[in-house]
Structure 1
Amino acid sequence: MTTTTPHTTGKRVTHLDEADHPLAPLTADEIARGRAVIADAGLLSEHSRFPSVMPIEPPKDVVRAWTPGAPMHRVAEFVVLDVSTGRSVEIDVDLDARRVAATRELATTTAPYGQPAYLQEEYELAQEIATADPRWIAAMERRGLGDRIDQVFCSPLAPGNFGYEDEVGRRIIRSLTFLRDHPDDVAWAHPVEGLLVTIDLTERRVISVRDEGDVPVAAGSGRYDTDAVGPARTTLKPIEITQPEGPSFTVEDGAVSWENWRFRVGFNAREGLVIHELGWDDGERVRPIMYRGSIAEMLVPYGDTSANRYWISYFDAGEYYLGRSANTLALGCDCLGVIHYFDGMSHDDNGNPLRIPQAICMHEEDASILWKHTEFGYGTDVRRQRRLVISFIATIGNYDYGFYWHLYLDGTIEVEAKATGLVFNGSGIPGTDEPHRLEIAPGLFAPVHQHLFCARMDLEIDGERNAVDQIDVQRIPMGERNPYGNAFTWERTRVETEGGLDAAPELRRTWQIVSTDRTNALGRPTGYELIGEGWPTMLADPASAVWARASFTHHHTWVTRFHDEERWPAGKYPNQHAGGAGLSAYVADGESVDGEDLVVWHTFGPTHLPRPEDFPIMPVDQYRFQLKPNGFFDRNPTLDVPEWSSSEGHCCASERPRRYGVEQG
């Protein structure tokens, strides 16, 4: 990365031309170099494809010991899939020595199975295979749709794992059928109900065609462009966000400084945005808070029992790769203000580097009141809150997801996910009531489903040795401890071993991550408090296939002992995996987490009951949690925030009597 000046034009970006830090994203040269090493070693053929290219981050002690300008040892993992045989191999490449460091064949044909993420070319391949199958053609003709085959869009989706004999151990994808009335139409509004095709991608053949029912295809338009909906309203006046003196942050070689915050911006093909080495500069040193943070997985399980949808449970990071699906962000549309962009580096199916321009947006936002008080007879003091926003947006099929890290002046960290795009639909009989789907437009039914995001946070509150306390408020029965009936209290319970923890909104349950080495001015451990929304975790039955495959959704919060290889909430290869990987495996040994190097995982997100207002395109829904300082500071750390709130130097208290030194009366 190189230093760039933040801007409002959207023309200058931070490039990924040279690795300048052990945690820097892979560069185009490194990806190309690694591919060349594998080719020179004779490990590629014309059938070789690359579902994944990921950096192997060095151990923490190596990163901490490194100094600018010192040599770095850069290693990348290339997953190579032979599309003619289905054989998949992990290949570690030492990028500096230009040699293959290790190879590991994936056990995709033996239990518990698991496949690498899908290739881009496999989506088009699935449509070609499905629409050429005589059984699919016959099903379309039986429905009276034989003359519309050239208007078909086939949606390829990961199949899950149900132990079906003709699917386990194979590279499988399922395909649903949608129609377009014309080339510019939105196919998601016209589902062909009851038609499901299962495809073996390696053998390039249809395993089965399931053809049930004769429900008419929903006919209403799903378009949402100006030509379809009419002229845009003219009543909204422009909002301009300007910072004539520029923003308050600086960026140098991927390292960001904003007020007291210090961190590095990272990116990879699977997770997308990664925050590294987040800390707070107190003037004497940078106090560590989080070594690494990301949205490491997300699951979208559907609650519909129909043949078309009972099997749907997208692992959008592990099966489709969020970073590889990242958008190029546009000024004034995705981001507003004085923007600093970071490019993202991914790869194509052939293992070549693929740059995503302006994949990450960073900017400042006003965030309402920071603090305020009016003292009778003395006057008012008020300060404005501000936050730094680091974000990226990924499109996965019909949905679009925005992921945001917010850093506030008072030390609060907020993680937010936004969901928009098009809800996944099926056709139905207009006006009917169904137990698992809701009618959102005439004859168009959207199934109930969940969006369960999992944030992985390698925390280091004032150092590596941390512990977690669960905090519950408690009602006290009226009696000796509560003579007037008004009292309540709290209970602090130390989490001693690895495991999952559940939210309890009625108890205001939170979790405090505390240092076991450092105390504040009150003699108590410094810490941060995890405050979640407490929405439902997975609602599928514990005996279901998806329950076994997505253990991270069983609890809101997990605490584990740090291990380098424990990176993925649902395991490294959730695609067609039978289950038992990820967090349920990580906590099986029950290691102590009291005073250790900890990772905290938090699952959050909605249970979505679709509504007519979600059609034809869904307004953004927002879901979030916070890490809030609790004893990390000795007092309010924002007392020195100035009164002015604009470049004109407007003083929030300038037209009011000063609070101190003014005589009462």
Structure 2
Amino acid sequence: MTSISKSLATLTAEEIAANTAILTRAGLAGSTVHYSYVGLVEPDKRELLSAGSADRRVRSMLIDMATNVSRDVVVSIAEDRVVSERVLDHAVDGQVPVVIEEFHLVEEVIHRNEKWLAAMHKRGLTDLSTLRVNPLSGGVLSEAETGRRIQRCFTFVQKTPDDLGWAHPVDGVTVMIDVVTREVLDVIDYVDLPVPQEDGNFHLSSWRGPDRQGLKPIEITQPEGPSFTLADDGTLSWAGWNLQVGFDQREGLVFHNITIDDEGVARPVIYRASIAEMMVPYGDPSPQRWFQNFFDCGEYLLGGFANSLELGCDCVGDITYLDAVVADNSGQARVIPQAICIHEEDTGILWKHFDNWNGSSISRRNRRLVVSFFVTVGNYDYGFYWYFGLDGQIEFEVKATGVVFTSAYPGEGYPFASELAPGLGAPYHQHLFSARLDMMVDGLSNSVDELEAVLVPRGPENPTGTGFTQTVTRLQRESDAQRLADNSKGRAWLVTNPGVKNRLGGSVGWVLLPEGKPVLLADEQSDIHKRATYSTKHLWVTEYEPNELYPAGDFVNLHPGGAGLPAWVAADRSVDNTDIVLWHTFGLTHFPRIEDWPIMPVDTCGFVLRPHGFFGRNPAMDIPETTSDHCSPGHDHSAHDHTANTQHENHGEH
């Protein structure tokens, strides 16, 4: 374990306990104070790389649920003291993320409210035991509501304890509740729409019907175990890759110091990589759901909702699991067993050629290292998969599944939702992620070039009209480096180190290849556009600043907007040949289908990073031939014994 890796390792249960003890002794914690977020304060990377080690500091976001006083506090574990403390101005700063108590109390309070009871009785709903109240982040507050800690709530019918309540939305009624004072501030009965009656109990075999027949087992084995090693500090080594695996309550998986071997030299690529925000804006502007825009990292702390994964169900093959340690709302350590899955998987052909001139035929199979975790946030489930390839490629993929957020369907031709079942709607929506990529391509001085495919006009240089070329445009300042993808031009962004040259004299680099799907589909004057400005561009490039961590700002919950990237880039700093961070927006625009009900098959989105002039040749030339009984040198297709191997299972660390 190096001093640098120790400085960046995930908080331990002991450190979380020490943090709570310091805050309690300082009088900042008590019976009504909830820990909304607890995380490692990462040191300035320039100082850490220079000094080789740093003080371990912990940041806590606290909310007193009796007084609505919120604090942002940093402590030093080594010095056993509070380093800084700030009380939030809710009108300006917003609120700390949602705490679990808010989920629990709303139903109890609302079930006693006469106005809500009247709205339910009007619809013939009198059995309180079947009425589930769904608390939702409040979005932007009116002037009269400013400073309050608000949840806006919908109601669903759960016919029995086993019933899927999402199948039966009580649409048209919105309840606004102050979760600190525990007051119902308003019950707005906008419209009386029939409650959909058809069940959607996919989790019950009696409802699903018989299983499909004829699917035979697929066994994935590694008789000699996996090809990677894993150290106690989370440092993972595989096929030339080295990276430190960490976990954060807000972001989930975090990687530090990603390097790749090049002829015995560990060359840096990325200092830190994470998914810093994801936001789900809904496109139904009706009065009962205009506020539906959920920041799953900034409002709900996505990492804290990680699943415990199961071999054979969530992960298949020779699996190494890591537990995740986060803090609960009382400030105590909470362990999520088997939250992180690490394994290798075969991905087909890596490279291949049959040569007609010399008669050679040679191929190599590809595999990749996979580091992943899964979360459930309300109705949706998301898998986050980071892939590291033998050819130097880094890929990130989100697998979105779960249950779509439902509504009553107002009628044929409604322009903002789909009908999934009789009378059951699903509003159109997006899932917009922000990858924070703190680049370090062969050092801290990096630049970004925009690459585009361009037709060369017919003329002396292109007399046949068949010529095309690629333009390279340097992004000089933060004002230049706010870009949209354009697949019609093959637009991509190349991160180079101008001070390091490859063997042909060009700058070494890595290229970001975007999928180029839609960014935020909301009016520029809308509340959500102001709160989630990050999601209006596919690419932002900023000069590195250690406190600039979250693209929509530190405190997203009930924030009026303008924080994060739009505030930072107002300084218009240089991003040419300096220490830079890439912020990449990507995601899904979802027009739900009938086939997405009652549970949605996985849909995917992501991005790719590839070496571009970084190596002197194909970096996967040294991959050995496959030696399994299904493929032998010389392409001998004679009969083989295809007896299945017994699955090898490994639950421990390497």
Give the TM-score category using the shorter length. Answer: over 0.9
The aligned residue for residue 205 of structure 1 is 183
Task: Give the 5 Å matches for 1:220-235.
Answer: 220-225=198-203, 226-235=205-214
1-structure distance, mates of 2:382, 2:211: 25
1-structure distance, mates of 2:166, 2:4: 42
2-structure distance, mates of 1:645, 1:84: 66
Q: CA deviation at 1:584?
A: 0.8
State the SS of the aligned residue for 1:21: helix
Pair 1:464 & 2:449 matched = no
Pair 1:53 & 2:53 matched = no
Q: CA deviation at 1:652?
A: 5.3
Q: CA deviation at 1:65?
A: 4.8
The aligned residue for residue 472 of structure 2 is 492
Tell whether the 8 Å contact from 1:130 to 1:175 is kept in structure 2 after alignment.
no
1-structure distance, mates of 2:427, 2:62: 36
The aligned residue for residue 132 of structure 2 is 153
The aligned residue for residue 292 of structure 1 is 272
Show structure 2 runs of 5+ residues with no match. 638-654
The aligned residue for residue 83 of structure 2 is 101
Pair 1:36 & 2:14 matched = no
2-structure distance, mates of 1:337, 1:388: 12
What letter matches 2:6 in structure 1?
A: H
1-structure distance, mates of 2:115, 2:399: 40
- For residues 98-122 of structure 1, give each alpha carbon's deviation from its aligned partner in whole angstroms, at most 9, with x where no partner exists: 11111111111x33x4111100111
2-structure distance, mates of 1:328, 1:42: 35
Tell whether the 8 Å contact from 1:325 to 1:394 is kept in structure 2 after alignment.
yes
Tell whether the 8 Å contact from 1:467 to 1:495 is kept in structure 2 after alignment.
yes
The aligned residue for residue 73 of structure 1 is 55
The aligned residue for residue 284 of structure 2 is 304
Tell whether the 8 Å contact from 2:62 to 2:96 is kept in structure 1 after alignment.
no
- For residues 444-469 of structure 1, give each alpha carbon's deviation from its aligned partner in whole angstroms, at most 9, with x where no partner exists: 01111000011000010111100000
Q: 1:458 to 1:181 in 2, by over 3 A?
A: same
Task: Give the 5 Å matches for 1:312-461.
Answer: 312-376=292-356, 378-429=359-410, 432-461=412-441
Picking from 545, 557, 565, the partner of 1:575 is 557
The aligned residue for residue 662 of structure 1 is none
State the SS of the aligned residue for 2:219: coil
Q: CA deviation at 1:284?
A: 3.3
Q: CA deviation at 1:651?
A: 2.5
Q: 1:474 to 1:283 in 2, by over 3 A?
A: closer
State the SS of the aligned residue for 2:120: helix
Q: CA deviation at 1:428?
A: 2.4
State the SS of the aligned residue for 2:121: helix
Pair 1:545 & 2:558 matched = no
1-structure distance, mates of 2:589, 2:569: 26
2-structure distance, mates of 1:467, 1:238: 49
2-structure distance, mates of 1:65, 1:472: 37
2-structure distance, mates of 1:640, 1:398: 46
Pair 1:272 & 2:272 matched = no
Tell whether the 8 Å contact from 1:383 to 1:652 is kept in structure 2 after alignment.
no
Q: CA deviation at 1:62?
A: 4.4
What letter matches 1:188 in structure 2?
A: W
The aligned residue for residue 641 of structure 2 is none
1-structure distance, mates of 2:446, 2:400: 33
Q: 1:485 to 1:123 in 2, by over 3 A?
A: same
Q: CA deviation at 1:127?
A: 1.4
Q: CA deviation at 1:478?
A: 2.1
- For residues 302-345 of structure 1, give each alpha carbon's deviation from its aligned partner in whole angstroms, at most 9, with x where no partner exists: 00012221110000000000111111111111111111111111
2-structure distance, mates of 1:652, 1:178: 62
The aligned residue for residue 230 of structure 2 is 251
What letter matches 2:408 in structure 1?
A: S
State the SS of the aligned residue for 2:94: strand
Higher mean displacement: 562-571 or 167-176: 167-176
State the SS of the aligned residue for 2:304: helix
2-structure distance, mates of 1:651, 1:630: 33
Tell whether the 8 Å contact from 2:409 to 2:417 is kept in structure 1 after alignment.
no
Tell whether the 8 Å contact from 1:414 to 1:624 is kept in structure 2 after alignment.
yes
Q: TM-score, normalised by structure 2?
A: 0.94
Identity of aligned residues (%): 46
Q: CA deviation at 1:379?
A: 3.2
The aligned residue for residue 661 of structure 1 is none
- For residues 599-635 of structure 1, give each alpha carbon's deviation from its aligned partner in whole angstroms, at most 9, with x where no partner exists: 0011101110000000000000011210011101110
The aligned residue for residue 164 of structure 2 is 186
Tell whether the 8 Å contact from 1:301 to 1:314 is kept in structure 2 after alignment.
yes
Task: Give the 5 Å matches for 1:120-159.
Answer: 120-146=100-126, 148-159=127-138
What letter matches 1:460 in structure 2?
A: M
Picking from 503, 521, 539, the partner of 1:557 is 539
Q: CA deviation at 1:645?
A: 4.9
Q: CA deviation at 1:373?
A: 0.6
What letter matches 2:419 in structure 1?
A: E
Q: CA deviation at 1:66?
A: 6.1
Picking from 502, 506, 515, the partner of 1:524 is 506
Tell whether the 8 Å contact from 1:411 to 1:628 is kept in structure 2 after alignment.
yes
Tell whether the 8 Å contact from 1:406 to 1:413 is kept in structure 2 after alignment.
yes
Q: CA deviation at 1:126?
A: 1.4
Q: CA deviation at 1:655?
A: 2.8
What letter matches 2:558 in structure 1?
A: Q
Picking from 458, 464, 485, the partner of 1:478 is 458
Query: RMSD over aligned Cα, in angstroms?
Result: 1.7
Picking from 588, 612, 615, the partner of 2:570 is 588
Show structure 1 runs of 5+ residues with no match. 3-17, 657-665
Tell whether the 8 Å contact from 2:43 to 2:54 is kept in structure 1 after alignment.
no
Task: Give the 5 Å matches for 1:159-174.
Answer: 159-161=138-140, 163-174=141-152
What letter matches 1:128 in structure 2?
A: E
Q: 1:83 to 1:240 in 2, by over 3 A?
A: same
2-structure distance, mates of 1:489, 1:654: 40
Picking from 481, 485, 490, the partner of 1:508 is 490
Picking from 171, 195, 201, the partner of 1:217 is 195
Q: CA deviation at 1:72?
A: 5.2
Higher mean displacement: 37-46 or 390-399: 37-46
Pair 1:617 & 2:599 matched = yes
What letter matches 1:74 in structure 2?
A: R
1-structure distance, mates of 2:319, 2:257: 22
The aligned residue for residue 652 of structure 2 is none
Q: CA deviation at 1:227?
A: 2.1
* Aligned residue pair count: 632
What letter matches 1:32 in structure 2?
A: A
- For residues 194-232 of structure 1, give each alpha carbon's deviation from its aligned partner in whole angstroms, at most 9, with x where no partner exists: 010011111110111110222110011111022211122
State the SS of the aligned residue for 2:111: helix
1-structure distance, mates of 2:116, 2:309: 39
What letter matches 1:203 in structure 2?
A: T
1-structure distance, mates of 2:116, 2:392: 57
2-structure distance, mates of 1:496, 1:227: 62
State the SS of the aligned residue for 2:7: coil
Task: Give the 5 Å matches for 1:109-124.
Answer: 110-111=91-92, 113-124=93-104
2-structure distance, mates of 1:210, 1:557: 40
State the SS of the aligned residue for 1:22: helix
Tell whether the 8 Å contact from 1:127 to 1:175 is kept in structure 2 after alignment.
no
